[in-house]
Amino acid sequence: MKNNNWWRGAVIYQIYPRSFLDTNGDGVGDLPGIVEKLDYIAGLGVDAIWISPFFKSPMADFGYDIADYRDVDPLFGTLADFDRLLAKAHSLGVKVMIDQVLSHCSVEHAWFKESRESRDNPKADWYVWADPKEDGTPPNNWMSLFGGIAWRWEPRREQYYLHNFLASQPDLNFHNPAVQQATLDNVQFWLDRGVDGLRLDAINFCFHDAQLRDNPPKPKEKRVGRGFSPDNPYAYQYHYYNNTQPENVPFLERLRGLLDRYPDAAALGEISSEDSLATTAEYVTDQRLHMGYSFELLTEDGSAAYIRATVERLETAMVEGWPCWAVSNHDVQRAVTRWGDGESSPAHAAQLVALVCSLRGSVCLYQGEELGLPEADVPYEALQDPYGKTFWPNFKGRDGCRTPMPWNDEAQAGFSNGNPWLPIPAEHRAINVAKQDADPSSVLNTVRGFLAWRRLQPALRSGSIRFLDAPEPVLAFVREAEGQRLLVAFNLSAKPVQWSAPDGMVASVLDGHGLSSATSDGRTVSLPPRGVHFALMV
């Protein structure tokens, strides 16, 4: 797949650099560590990597609070290290995507330091500042996703500034054209350096309601959402005014205009709104983002009915766009735990990879998914995530999915010669890379085999999708492209099931994918626990 189409059907491997490989013994992963393991990544059969933020930052939110958009934090290395990473990845045929956090930055950013000094300096209107109400309280009722009100008082200006996330992450004022241009200039810096794409963090949060209207209350029974429990006050509101504003669309078109000057570059937007699928369909078009993904498959519900309904709703809404799917990332509990019903089997881990890679669209696989890593149980005294510290014990935060990669069975799992920034659980060391690499039937080798097999199936990489009626726990659909029609079915349970394909649907079983495969007599499909069925339709 060449030029600006490489991303269609691509498998993108997400690297959380703090937890990938530490080469200098400080307990934190770094860019040289990624360089060292690029051969491993290429050997998985992925098309691209997405690297979570490695820019200069005080690390209040572990890099998602950026103090300098154009430099590498010394914790991770240098710009020269990044250039070396980029060159080696390209030599291995792997594209490189980097996180861009556009909607907010760090209080340590030079722009904010200038802006907060007065109401009349050159950067005075670069952030969302507002006067208090007559009684001194914040200008409206907006809440921070990380807990509490979304406004912080600044005595220098005698005003509040908006922070949709941590108080140390002030929101930029995208209603100011100078902010938009400066943001695009920062993006261009990395495009000129040779990156192949951008993962755009919280991209629907760039604009706020200029009138600062209150968000309306949300009924108790509807207080659900990604990454937070109903006891988080953020869930008490419909977030109609603090994000996902109409002005965001013209900005995305400006961003796409910049990207189109780099024919090989692609943008993947992270979208979390009141109706994330509708927003994804709106944002992902030929004039806006290349791909978009939401948290709709990063929820607790992993049933066949929910997966089908979610994908079908996006398919209906997205007329011309290209989706991207993920079932795990650095913000949510790992999928084998979240959807495992207390079970964490190799068959289930491999099936989850196959499932997300069989939906129409591109795919983000999170480091460790290829090993079947379960969620780590991080004790309170070892917590690093401010989100988890705030909402403990009802919500333990995101540290459990961010623990370091287990490369071998040594004390620190081959991750570091120092003390890792998060503890590495014994159950992760037991399923380390070295051990799985030597086992032909391991999750790692099963995933490698499946991804190699998937590359040869045009229907899975670029085809259409049509779901078939099937009872729980069977998820069944047809993928079709370039004259190839595949019947695909997954048994999402730990018990064997039988499923009867629709009348007249004749298909011959395909093997070579390496997963726990179904058998068929031409009509009835017998699916083993966590089994899959790939069949060529005639």
The 8-class DSSP code of residue 171 comes to B
Distance, CA of 87 to CA of 473 (rounded, Å): 45
CA–CA separation, 154 and 131 (whole Å): 10
Q: Going by C-beta distance under 8 Å and a sequence separation of 6 or more, which residues neighbour residue 462?
A: 8, 9, 481, 482
Choose, from 65, 154, 270, 282, the residue flagged as catalytic. 270
Token duo for residue 361: 């669209």
Q: Residue 149's closest CA among 159, 138, 158?
A: 138
Q: Which residues make Cβ contacts (< 8 Å) with residue 504, sequence separation at least 6?
A: none
* Strand-strand pairing, 524-527 and 519-520: antiparallel
Task: Give SS3 for 185.
Answer: helix
User: 442: closest CA among 327, 42, 450?
Assistant: 450
- Is 270 a catalytic site residue? yes
Sheet containing 497-500, strands listed edge to edge, beginning at the edge strand earlier in sequence: 497-500, 524-527, 519-520
Of the candidates 295, 268, 297, the one whose C-alpha atom is nearest the C-alpha of residue 284 is 268
Catalytic residue among 30, 196, 201, 282: 201
Query: Residue 475 and residue 282: Cα distance in Å, rounded?
Result: 27
**Nearest to 173, CA basis, from 162, 184, 186:** 162
Q: Which residues pair with 49 in a beta bridge?
A: 13, 96
Whether 482 is catalytic: no
Backbone angles phi, psi at 478, to 5 degrees: -115, 130
Secondary structure (3-state) at 22: coil
Q: Which H or E run includes 425?
A: none
Q: How many CA atoms lie within 13 A of 182 on its CB side?
A: 20
CB count in 10 Å sphere of residue 84: 16
Return the H-helix or E-strand segment holding 197: strand 197-201
CA pair distance 139, 129, nearest whole angstrom: 10
List Cβ neighbours of 357 (8 Å cut-off, separation of 6 or more): 11, 363, 450, 451, 454, 460
Q: How many Å apart are CA 467 and CA 142, to the nearest integer?
A: 40
Number of H helices, E strands in the chain: 15, 21
Tokens representing 448 are 């490698």
Which residues are the active-site residues? 201, 270
